[in-house]
Amino acid sequence: MSDLLVFVDYGETFVFVVLLLASILALAVGMERAVVFKRNSGKKIHQFAQDLIALLRKRDYRAVAGLVKESPDNCYTRFAAFSLELAEDSHEGLPDLMAGKIIEERIFLEKRLTVLNTLGNNAPFIGLLGTVLGVIKAFHGLGTLGSTGADVVMRSISKALLATAAGLFIAIPVVMANNYFSKKVKIILQQLEILSKEIGAGMRGPAKKPAAKKTVKTKKPAVESAE
């Protein structure tokens, strides 16, 4: 039984080390994603998307190109530049190509969010494992020392519960951050869908016909009747 307690002690230490590494990893991923979404969302980016849609509805593609060129790099500028470049060459297959570009941007935005999702879902269970190991150790001490070792047993149980608290302390903010980023991804993708519809509608619209030239009717000279 003493050999089992040695493994229990190692298991408790391992659980706390894993929780510490998980917290560091979650913080690093959260900060990196926060920087990415700051560059691709916000009031300025939202206003840029609105201005871009307004110009697309006017079919002022020269102004659209200028606006895209002057704006900082983000998912909207990349998508607009990609779509307009293809639209100049050919209209065939443009909707499918724009849908593929949206998927590409989605992969970029959702990068590393699986790490937050995994940590948020599993950190409580890792903490619960530490609690179970601590309770095993506490009950073993209670059976060995009896009532005289009540203080030792209580300290073991409190340490065991600390593992669950640590797991929840990591999981709660990680889940909140993951939900926030997922909501941002959904909003950005919806706006890219709107841009794709606007560009597609502009390409399918009727072209402006040049004004027809006015023809001047000339009177035919009267034919003199032969005398």
**What is the predicted pLDDT for the residue at 203?**
66
Q: How high is the pLDDT of residue 67?
A: 85
What is the pLDDT at residue 91? 64
For the segment 69-77, the average pLDDT, to the nearest whole number, is: 85
**Domains of the chain, residue spans:** 2-204
Write the DSSP string, 45-103: HHHHHHHHHHHHHHT-HHHHHHHHHHSPS-HHHHHHHHHHHHHHH--TTHHHHHHHHHH
> CB 171: neighbour CB atoms within 10 A?
21
Tell me if residue 225 falls in helix, strand or coil: coil
Beta carbons within 8 Å of 110's beta carbon, 6+ residues apart: 185
Query: To the nearest whole percent, how much of the chain has pLDDT over 90?
Result: 32
**Residue of 166, 191, 149 lying closest to 46 (CA atoms):** 191
State the chain's mean pLDDT as an integer. Answer: 80
| pLDDT at residue number 146 | 61
Quickly state the pLDDT bin for 2 (edges 50, 70, 90): low
Residue 151's pLDDT band (boundaries 50, 70, 90)?
confident
Using one digit for the tens of pLDDT, what is the confidence trace for 118-128? 999 999 999 99
Using the predicted structure, report yes or no on whether residue 190 has a pLDDT greater than 80: yes
3-state helix, strand, coil in the chain (%, to 5): 85, 0, 15
For residues 192 and 199, what is the distance between their CA atoms, to the nearest angstrom? Answer: 10
